[in-house]
Amino acid sequence: MRDFYRRHQLILAPMAGITDRVFRQLCREQGAQFAFTEMVSAKGLSYANEKTAHLVDLGPDETEVGVQLFGHEADTMAAQAAWLRERLGDALAVVDINMGCPARKIVTKGDGASLMQRPDEAAAIVRSVSSAVDVPVTVKFRRGWAEGDETAPEFAKRMEDAGAAAVTVHGRFAQQMYRGGAEWGVIARVVQAVSIPVVGNGDVKGGADAVRMRAETGCSAIMVARAARGNPWVFARCAAALEGRPEPPLPTYEERLALARRHARMLEETYGRRIVKMRTDAMWYVSGIPGATAARRELSACTTADDFCDVLDRLEESIRGREDA
């Protein structure tokens, strides 16, 4: 796996409702070197639920991808990992097991970050999934479950002993959700605790952050999550900084709106009526742009790519009007 991460320094995180095939393409164009599909329910896949299965559909030019499964039943997790391997073939490069999601609807079912409270069960899942597929199995988790109780280094070691080929560490406690800042020191402590590669995650918002995380933690790669929302350019900035090049300038308002329009068109072409998910995506693109508050009200009612583009066109016209005033 160390060679894998030498080739994949910048990774797009598996974000539910976000990292569909369109968003993955836009991020890859800007420098993401590897991308995960959306987080997928193993139980949902086991029901042959097409609403779940479509989450792992790949783009026509997508030849390498990671899939993150969540669940707590070892047999189900293993069976669905094997199904993913059969469905995606050689395009499946990594199966990641989610043990870090803090969302209430996930942890109340015993999935996600709640597994950090049950390391024996977590290890059993890793062993089962590893035995079911011939691709690397990795684990993503947090600093610990309860605020103030850091368990990540010991947990990482347990996952390594169970067969995990690498781990990703988010520097917040599960109970912390997304409050406060991510503690990167825990990533460094996990690096010291295990011999497998460690991916750092949490609060990387630009090139300087990526350089500092790598220097301070010794992590093998960096995973970007929320900072990529409406901002695929974050990967170009991180890539430049990691390579010692000047970071490209931040996108202009016009560039952001142009990509938002393209995003909407691509979503409609790919998903048809499910383009309504663009309502959320569009909010990220317009964040901080003068006039965005009024535009958000209109965007929340859009149902077609034309609707979105009309609102975005009017917002761009208002920006030009302000500049000419």
What is the rounded radius of gyration, in angstroms, for the C-alpha atoms of the chain?
20
Specify whether the backbone of 64 is left (phi greater than 0), alpha (psi in -120 to 50) or beta: beta
Catalytic residue among 27, 101, 238, 302: 101
- Distance, CA of 40 to CA of 14 (rounded, Å): 9
- Distance, CA of 314 to CA of 312 (rounded, Å): 5
- Distance, CA of 153 to CA of 270 (rounded, Å): 41
User: How many other C-beta atoms lie within 10 A of the C-beta of residue 249?
Assistant: 9
- H or E element: which one contains 57? none
Closest CA to 196 of 242, 241, 130, 144: 130
- Distance, CA of 46 to CA of 324 (rounded, Å): 58
321: Cβ contacts below 8 Å, ≥ 6 apart: none
The answer to whether 309 is a known catalytic residue is no
What residue ranges in the chain does DSSP mark as E strands?
10-12, 34-35, 40-41, 65-70, 92-99, 137-144, 166-173, 198-201, 221-224
Tokens of 261: 């329009």
Angle among Cα 150, 37, 238 to the nearest 5 degrees reads 70
Q: Is the Cβ–Cβ distance between 42 and 55 less than 8 Å?
A: no
Burial class (CB in 10 A: 0-12, 13-18, 19+), 90: exposed
Active site members: 101
